[in-house]
Amino acid sequence: MAVLKIVEVGDPLLRKVSRPVEEITPRVLTLLDDMVETMHKHDGCGLAAVQVGVLRRIVVIETVPGEIHELINPRIVAYAGHQEEAEGCLSIPGKAGITSRPAAVTVRALNRKGEEVELTGTELLARAICHECDHLDGKLFTDVQIRSLDEED
């Protein structure tokens, strides 16, 4: 496994739409492992492949220590409620803001074995799913930010 370089804001790659994974190959499995290691190294709770320079629809999320979700070709199929909470991004170091996200989301994806999985998340997991899926469509949290945490109330 390897720690990969994180692509930062300003790089046009972050604004591109990622392509679906057609086949789960050893290269995809290595990427998943490297993404988890990179996420841990940078104390993140989620990471999209585009953030490490790979335009594929792959995300890893870990909002509870030891519960790693590897999602290939994720698509949000349901959402409910509303939450406004603080959010940041490994690709936008030092910046955070309040975003408006669903309180609960359900996502369908493939796991590393190519099996379809469904994951429902609330609170932080819901935000992380939305945040990482947004990356796959070239969106950043600043696109849905209500206000910066640097602004006074």
Q: Which of 62, 70, 87, 132 is catalytic?
A: 132
Helix locations, 5-122, DSSP H: 26-41
32 vs 70: CA distance, rounded Å: 7
SS3 at position 127? helix
141 vs 127: CA distance, rounded Å: 10
Question: In the annotation, is 118 catalytic?
Answer: no
Token output for 14? 């972050």
Residues marked active site are found at 132
